[in-house]
Amino acid sequence: MEQKSPTRALGQALESIANNYLDARGLSLITRNFQCKLGEIDLIMRDENTLVFVEVRYRKSERFGRAVETVNRRKQRKLIRTALLYLNIHRLSQSTPCRFDILGITMHADGKTLCFDWRQNAFGLNGHY
């Protein structure tokens, strides 16, 4: 049986926490870790009739910047290409209502509490904030 690296195990745990956080706010999970040759999307969810592609980012602290700020233009383009392939594979039109959210998770200074920074519609198909 393949063992997960501590980093991968932490990533999966944080994606579960993110899923629960978003579920409590009305989104429903479609799939986790959609992977293809173009990249990976952490969570694909539905918010009423909108398909939501969620990038989950974690930082131990905000000392060197916020977690959501780590999704640069290059990463946005990669997410967009991956999402377009997902739409194509599932025979969904590019006119399907969709958005790209970033959920930043940071450890509070107390070392026990997680802080969430949910950016809905953080960027669009054109790859801009």
Q: Take residue 5 and report the two structure tokens written for it.
A: 């690296």
Task: Band the pLDDT of 105: cuts 50, 70, 90.
Answer: very high
Q: What is the pLDDT of residues 40-92, one digit of tens each?
A: 999 999 999 999 999 999 887 666 778 788 889 999 999 999 999 999 999 98
Q: CA 96: distance to chain centroid? A: 19
Sign of CA dihedral 42, 8, 119, 71: negative
Q: What is 1-65+100-124's CATH number, 3.40.50.2300, 3.40.50.12590, 1.10.10.10, 3.40.1350.10?
A: 3.40.1350.10
What is the reported pLDDT for 124? Answer: 85
Q: Looking at the whole model, is its pTM more than 0.75? A: yes
Q: Take residue 92 and report the two structure tokens written for it.
A: 């969904």
> Above 60 in pLDDT, residue 1?
no
CA–CA distance, 120 with 101 (Å, rounded to integer): 5
> Above 50 in pLDDT, residue 127?
no
